[in-house]
Amino acid sequence: MARHSATLLQGTLDLLILKALSTGELHGLGVSRRIEQMTDGTFVVQPGSLFPALHRLEEAGRLSSSWDASENNRRAKYYALTRAGRRQLGQETTEWNRISLAIARALEA
Amino acid sequence: MSRLSSLWRNLVQRERVEHDLDDEMRATLDLLVAEKVDAGLSPADARRAARLELGGVESVKEQVRDARRGALVNAVVQDLRYASRLLWRNPLFTLTAALSLSIGIGATTSIFTVANGVLLRAAACVTDPDTLVDLVRRDPKQGPGVELMSFPDLLDIRQRATLLDDAYGYQLQLAPASLLFDDSSTAVFACVVTANYFRALGVPAAAGRVFDAGDVEQAGASPVAVLSHDLWLRRFAGDAGVVGHTVRINNVPMTVVGVAASTFRGTSVVAPDVWLPVSMVAALSPDGGGQELTNRRIPWLMLGARLKPGVSRAQASAQLAGIGAAIQRDTPVNPFIPQDAPAGVHEIDPSSLVWSAEVASPIPYGLRIIAAGFLGLLMALVGIVLVIACTNLAGVLLARATGRRREIAVRTAVGAGRGRLVRQLLTETALLFALGGAAGLVLARAMTRLLFLLLPEFPVPVNLSAPLDGRVVAFALVLSFIAAVLAGLAPALHVSKSDVVTALKDDAQGPSDRHRLRNAFVVAQVAFSILLVVVAGLLVRAFDNVISVNQGFDPRDVDVASLDLTMGGYTDATGRDVVRRLRDRVRSIPGVEHASVADRAPGPAGRSFGNITVPGAVAQKGSPSAFTTWTLVEPDYFRTAGIPLLAGRDFSDADGPGAELVVIVGQRTAKRLWPDRDPIGQLVSVRPPRSGDPDIAALHSTDASARAREAQLRVVGVVGDLNFGNQSGSGPLVIYVPYQQKYLAQATILVRRTTGVGSLVQELRSAVASVDRNLPVLTTESLERQNNGPVQTQLRIAAAVAGSVGVIGLFLAGIGIYGVTAYAVTRRTREIGIRLSLGAGRGEVIRLVLRQGMGLVAIGSAIGLLLGLGAGALLSGRRFGIPQADPVVLVGAALLFAVVGLIACYVPVRRAAAIRAMEALRYE
Helices (H), B511-567: 512-548
Q: Is the CB of residue B63 less than 8 Å away from at least one CB of chain A?
A: yes
Q: Is B183's pLDDT higher than 80?
A: no
How far apart, in whole angstroms, are the C-alpha atoms of residue A38 and residue A46? 16
| CA B417 to the chain's CA centroid | 47
Nearest to B915 by CA among B828, B819, B818: B828
Residue B228 neighbours by CB under 8 Å, 6+ apart = B259, B260, B264, B265, B266, B271, B272, B273, B274, B275
Q: What is the model's pLDDT at position B499?
A: 60
Q: Any chain B CB within 8 A of the CB of A6?
A: no
**What is the SS3 assignment for B303?**
strand
Q: For residues A67 and A25, is the Cβ–Cβ distance under 8 A?
A: no
Greater confidence, A43 or B585? B585
**Which helix (H) or strand (E) covers residue B361, if one does?**
none
Residue B660: per-residue pLDDT: 86
Residue B920 half-sphere exposure toward CB, CA atoms < 13 A: 22
List C-alpha distances in Å: B722 to B459, B549, B634, B881: 22, 11, 18, 18
Give the pLDDT confidence score for residue B341 in this predicted structure. Answer: 34
**How far apart (Å, rounded) are the C-alpha atoms in residues A64 and B66?**
20
B6 interaction partners in chain A (CB closer than 8 Å): 58-59
pLDDT of residue A105: 93
| CA closest to B32 among chain A residues | A29
Q: In one letter, which amino acid is B482?
A: I
Q: For position B730, what pLDDT does the model report?
A: 63
Report helix, strand or coil for B98: helix
With an 8 Å Cβ cutoff, are B60 and A51 in contact? yes
What mean pLDDT is predicted for residues B196-209? 90
Instruction: Flag the least confident range among B184-193, B241-250, B413-422, B765-774.
Output: B413-422
Q: Give the pLDDT band (50/70/90) at residue B337.
A: very low
Tens of pLDDT, residues B358-392: 887 777 777 777 788 888 888 888 888 888 888 88
Q: What ipTM did this prediction achieve?
A: 0.86
- For residue B691, name the pLDDT band (cuts at 50, 70, 90): very low
Q: A99 CA to chain B: closest CA distance, Å?
A: 28
CA nearest to A79 within chain B: B24
Which distant-in-sequence residues (6+ apart) come within 8 Å of B149 by Cβ? B135, B137, B169, B299, B301, B302, B303
Calculate mean pLDDT across residues B844-862.
Answer: 85
Helix (H) or strand (E) holding B564: strand B558-564
For residues B679 and B670, what is the distance between their CA atoms, to the nearest angstrom?
Answer: 6
Chain segment B245-274, per-residue pLDDT in tens: 899 887 788 999 999 988 888 887 778 889
Q: Are B177 and B318 in contact (CB under 8 A)?
A: no
CB contact under 8 A, A48 and B55: yes
Please state the rounded mean pLDDT for residues B63-74: 78
Whether A71 and B34 lie within 8 Å, measured CB to CB: yes
Interval B742-780: pLDDT, tens: 888 888 899 999 888 888 888 888 888 888 887 888 777
Cβ–Cβ contact B4 with A under 8 A? no
* Close Cβ partners of B162 (under 8 Å, ≥ 6 residues apart): B308, B319
Q: Do B31 and A72 touch (CB under 8 A)?
A: yes
Lowest mean pLDDT among B504-508, B803-807, B832-836, B884-888: B504-508
Chain B residues lying within 8 Å of A74, measured CB to CB: 26-27, 30-31
- Higher pLDDT, residue B290 or B716: B716
CA dihedral B788, B793, B795, B796 (to 10 degrees): 90
Q: Which of A48, A58, A71 sits opposite B1 (nearest CB)?
A: A58
Percent over 90 (pLDDT), chain B: 7
- Residues of chain A found within 8 Å of residue B64, distances taken between Cβ atoms: 51-52, 55
Please indicate whether, in this complex, the C-beta atoms of B31 and A56 are within 8 angstroms of each other: no
Q: Please report, for chain B, how many H helices and E strands are present, in that order.
A: 28, 22
Which chain B residues touch A29 with a CB distance below 8 Å? 28, 31-32, 35
Which of B50, B733, B16 has its CA nearest to residue B343? B733
What are B752's strand-pairing partners?
B558, B594
Chain A environment of B53 (Cβ under 8 Å)? 47
Q: pLDDT band at residue B877, thresholds of 50, 70 and 90?
A: low
Q: Is A27 on the interface with B (CB under 8 A)?
A: yes
Mean pLDDT, range B801-829, rounded to an integer: 80
**Confidence band for B703, pLDDT divided at 50, 70 and 90:** very low
Q: Å from A96 to nearest chain B CA?
A: 24
- At residue B693, the pLDDT reads 36
Task: State whether A58 and B6 contact (CB < 8 Å).
Answer: yes
Q: What is the pLDDT of residues A46-77, one digit of tens each?
A: 888 899 999 989 888 899 999 888 777 778 88
B34 interfacial to chain A (CB closer than 8 Å) = yes
Q: What is the pLDDT of residue B635?
A: 92
Measured between beta carbons, the chain B residues lying within 8 angstroms of A64 are 1
Average pLDDT over residues B584-604: 88
pLDDT of residue A101: 92
The partner residue sitting opposite B28, judged by closest CB among A47, A52, A56, is A47
Contact A58 B68 (CB under 8 A): no
Q: CB within 8 A of B692, min separation 6: which ones?
A: none
CA distance B344 to B605: 10
Cβ-Cβ contacts under 8 Å, A61 against chain B: 1-3
Which site among B1, B33, B35, B62 would you substitute to test the A interface, given the most A Cβ atoms closer than 10 Å to its Cβ?
B1
* DSSP state string for B115-172: HIIIIISPPTT-SSGGGEEEEEEE-TTS-SB---B-HHHHHHHHHH-TTEEEEEEEES
Chain B residue closest to A27 (CA)? B28
What pLDDT is recorded for position B479?
A: 84
Q: Does residue B87 or residue B206 have the better pLDDT?
A: B206
Cα dihedral across residues B373, B375, B377, B383: positive or negative: negative
Is the per-residue pLDDT at B671 higher than 70?
yes
Higher pLDDT, B707 or B786: B786
What percentage of residues in chain B have a pLDDT greater than 70? 84
What's the pLDDT score for residue B788? 55
Full-model pTM: 0.66
Q: What is the pLDDT of residue B508?
A: 46
Q: How confident is the model at residue B597 (pLDDT cuts 50, 70, 90)?
A: very high
Nearest-Cα distance to chain A for B38, in Å, is 12
- In this complex, is the C-beta atom of B27 within 8 Å of any C-beta atom belonging to chain A? yes
Mutation pick from A17, A29, A66 vs chain B, by most beta carbons of B within 10 Å, is A29
Which chain A residues contact residue B2 at CB under 8 A? 61
Q: Which residues on B lie below 8 Å from A75 (Cβ)?
A: 23, 27
Q: How confident is the model at residue A106 (pLDDT cuts 50, 70, 90)?
A: very high
Whether B648 contacts B720, CB under 8 Å: no
pLDDT of residue B498: 59
Contact A71 B2 (CB under 8 A): no
In chain B, the residue whose alpha carbon lies closest to the alpha carbon of A64 is B1
Find residues 60-99 of chain A whose CB sits inside 8 Å of chain B.
60-61, 64, 67, 70-72, 74-77
Write the DSSP assignment of B668-686 as a string of letters: HHHHHH-TTS--TT-EEEE
Contact A77 B64 (CB under 8 A): no
Residues in chain B closer than 8 A to A84 (CB atoms): none
Cross-chain CB nearest to A48 (options B32, B59, B68) = B59
Q: Which of the pair, B629 or B726, is modelled with greater confidence?
A: B629
Partner residue opposite A59 with nearest CB, options B20, B66, B68: B68
pLDDT at B338: 43
What pLDDT shows up at residue B659?
Answer: 84
Task: Please state, rounded to an integer, the average pLDDT across all residues of chain B.
Answer: 79
Using the predicted structure, report yes or no on whether residue B193 has a pLDDT greater than 60.
Answer: yes
pLDDT for res B80: 87
Count of pairs with CB atoms under 8 A, one residue in A, one in B: 71
Whether residue B875 is predicted with pLDDT greater than 80 in this model: the reply is: no
Tens digits of residue pLDDT in B135-156: 888 777 766 667 788 888 899 8
Task: Examine the pLDDT at A79 and tell me if it is beyond 90.
Answer: yes
* From A29, A46, A61, residue closest to B55, measured CB to CB: A46
Contacts of A51 in chain B (CB under 8 A): 24-25, 60, 63-64
**B74 interaction partners in chain A (CB closer than 8 Å):** none
Helix axes B790-827, B842-875, angle to 10 degrees: 150
